[in-house]
Chain A
């Protein structure tokens, strides 16, 4: 064998680093054709994959998430110095910036996948906030160099048609979350529609009109969420329902803050248009006046439904939800259940709603449930009897539910708030739930975090915040 000549170390490093860069851009070598003996194994694998696909189809589909490993939790940094101290391989960052130029400091994170930008003003510097009002048009241009950036959350100071333009070069950007001030800006929607790979759009406080939503139609969005957006009307809702690619639609607190916009639109018999969305799986309706017949119109493709702060529905109307057999996640509570110090009539009405929700819960196989302040014996029984329930969030008026959950085999996460009379003894049945991994208690009686931790052991992450807990920490 001929001896292989050894390169000197600098030449070796040059070849290594050039190879790393070149191999990242070259098309992969074609795989070898499968050998004959592999054929049987491939058939078996195919059957297995089909079965797995059918099983997975029970869950809400998130196609992109299925292809990529999950994005890790965000790390936070405030200002350039803190940002520059972060590791270069940071994937998920919540950054507070004090000048538009500090966006430059983000481009060293070449593997960044999700970014939250919050604007701040340099403490003690007069007029510091004004720098954001005059942010240069190319302030966001450095983000276009982040080849892996998938999700971006922008504050209102960086949301305008002009500032968004450089994002058109973001090859991986699929999710955008923007906040806007009061005035409607039609050009903003042109800029959004020009983002080539946009799949998820979250608009917060953006005043809009039907034609703005029409501009988004060619984008083939998978998810559209309107939070606090004024201006949606019947024509606009029709445009939304003409986006057949939507898998998720969220309409929340649409009253918005724009005083020039008339009262919030209510879907007076228009929800049947949702049937024009053949792939709709997640629907979020918050703060709407609904009619019982609206629930009849909900598409049976739904796997996740949030019906929160609703008004107008009767307990018997809620029974319509039983036909949504594919629902796995349900968040449901009425506006009246959130009233503080309700009178006797309101209390009775709330129990009637809770009982109706119990009937719905009892007929579904839920994995996640949020019932807000709704509380009744029947509802607690129904939640306690859910065989697949993984995550539960409740604000019950008493501790009865806790005792019923003691028999759960699947519950992993429980959040309870405002259980005034909760004691450590009430929690003991939960300690027998072997699947439990996270317990959050907010303002729950006299329970001390240190005692709850001792009861549940190291395997359960416990967070208890309340008057007694705070006192304990001060000591």
Chain B
């Protein structure tokens, strides 16, 4: 068995581990990883960081840049021939445009504010779909919509949220 590194050789990394973990997971999903693969890769990214004796965790911005780059390489390696590096680079560019070099906290904050301003019925639909993982039928039953109605509403809601987030990010 490969010897494991000490538990916490990088206290700066550990201090923001949860925040970085969520952002990395988001990033890997943007690149196209499914939830399980994203979970595994996040774990692997942290292991790589922990094993790097020369990894400097004292510069906050540099930490996430390193983690993000590592995640991208690991994702590319795991894909082998299933998709082209070009697609991954394009997805990385989308991340760059929306989240910059950081973990994308501004994007998430903007989304949260946009969601909070939605009518209760729209939030219920989002909660059912994204929070509780209900299918279209079950989610529709909670707001009195059929499957097609749910599909249309979600498409409109997502477009609205996308615009809302962009406007908020531009203001900042």
Contact = CB atoms under 8 A, between A and B. Distances in A.
Interface stretch (A26-34, A385-393, A433-441, A456-464): A26-34
A268 B90 CA distance: 78
Contact of A26 (B39, B91, B94, B115): B115
A88 interface: yes
A10 B86 CA distance: 13
Given A14-B107, A88-B39, A29 B30 contact: no
Contacts of B32: 10, 13
B130 A23 contact: yes
B29 interface: yes
Interface in A5-36: 5, 7-8, 10-24, 26, 28-30, 32
Given A108-B40, A145-B18, A16 B7 contact: no
A10 B1 contact: no
Contact of B6 (A21, A101, A108, A122): A101
Contact of A17 (B26, B123, B158): B26
Nearest to B159: A4
A96 B11 CA distance: 27
Interface string A420-455: 000000000000000000000000000000000000
A379 to B, nearest CB: 51
A204 interface: no
Interface residues of B, number: 48
Given A10-B90, A29-B127, A145-B18, A4 B162 contact: no
- Best-surrounded residue of A23, A99, A104 (most CB of chain B within 10 A): A23
A16 B8 CA distance: 33
A15 B162 contact: yes
A141 interface: yes
A30 B118 CA distance: 12
Contacts of B161: 15, 19
Interface in B1-40: 1, 4-8, 17-18, 22, 25-26, 29-32, 35-36, 39-40
A102 interface: yes
Interface string B71-113: 0000000000000000000110011001100001001100110
B145 to A, nearest CB: 14
B111 to A, nearest CB: 5
- The 9 residue pairs across chains A and B that have the minimum distance between CB atoms: A23-B131, A10-B94, A10-B91, A17-B29, A29-B123, A101-B4, A29-B120, A23-B130, A19-B130
Interface of B: 1, 4-8, 17-18, 22, 25-26, 29-32, 35-36, 39-40, 43, 90-91, 94-95, 98-99, 104, 107-108, 111-112, 115-116, 120-121, 123-124, 126-127, 130-131, 155-156, 158-159, 161-162, 165
Interface of A: 4-5, 7-8, 10-24, 26, 28-30, 32, 79-81, 84, 87-88, 98-102, 104, 107-108, 110, 122, 136, 138-139, 141-142, 145
